[in-house]
Amino acid sequence: MAPSTSSAITLNINGEKHTLPVDHRTTLLDALRERLDLTGTKKGCDQGQCGACTVLLDGRRAVSCLQLAVAAEGRVITTIEGVADGEQLHPVQQAFLDLDGYQCGYCTPGQICSAIAVIEEHAAGWPSAVTADVRPEAGAPPLTADEIRERMSGNLCRCGAYVSIVQAVARAAEAHAADAQAAEVKGAAA
């Protein structure tokens, strides 16, 4: 008897569990778009090079066109549909809206998911390829335009809205830092 090439899996997407049968070769992108009707995540190159399909897996960015759905079982998956808090946009979404960080909008969901992860990575002190001092004791480097460009380089914008994208990421990072500082002050006062 030949081994089965499909399984029923349960995916934790945007805080909801979804159980579905999938062929073992089904990508996470295809499961999201074709099986669960979560079409905010876009199919661009289908080769992991454009970033249009970027989602968050356990808070880290991943190109869903290269991730098998069966390998995502048991992980926390966040798509563009899950980044807002109800009607309240995520600060990155708001910054993209305020600063016109999009033109056609096709790459925007992947850009936003990547930006969310970039801001968290930077806040955690992770260096990038352009970080001058990568020693852990140096702490997080300043989030300059060059740092943002390097950290977002896995996401392509065919319309060329990069200037506005960099500005939006910078603004959202400032808001994130202010929120973190306010939480720290509040925690110390408690």
| 5 vs 3: CA distance, rounded Å | 6
Contact 65, 106 (CB under 8 A): no
User: Yes or no: is domain 91-189 CATH 3.40.50.2000?
Assistant: no
pLDDT of res. 7: 93
Asked whether 54 and 60 are in contact (CB, 8 A), the reply is no
> Do 82 and 12 contact (CB within 8 A), yes or no?
no
Using one digit for the tens of pLDDT, what is the confidence trace for 152-185?
999 999 999 999 999 999 999 999 988 888 888 7
Angle at CA 125, nearest 5°, toward 59 and 95?
A: 60
Sketch the domain layout of the chain as residue ranges.
6-82, 91-189
Q: What is the pLDDT of residues 106-138, one digit of tens each?
A: 999 999 999 999 999 999 989 999 999 988 888
Q: What is the CATH number of domain 6-82?
A: 3.10.20.30
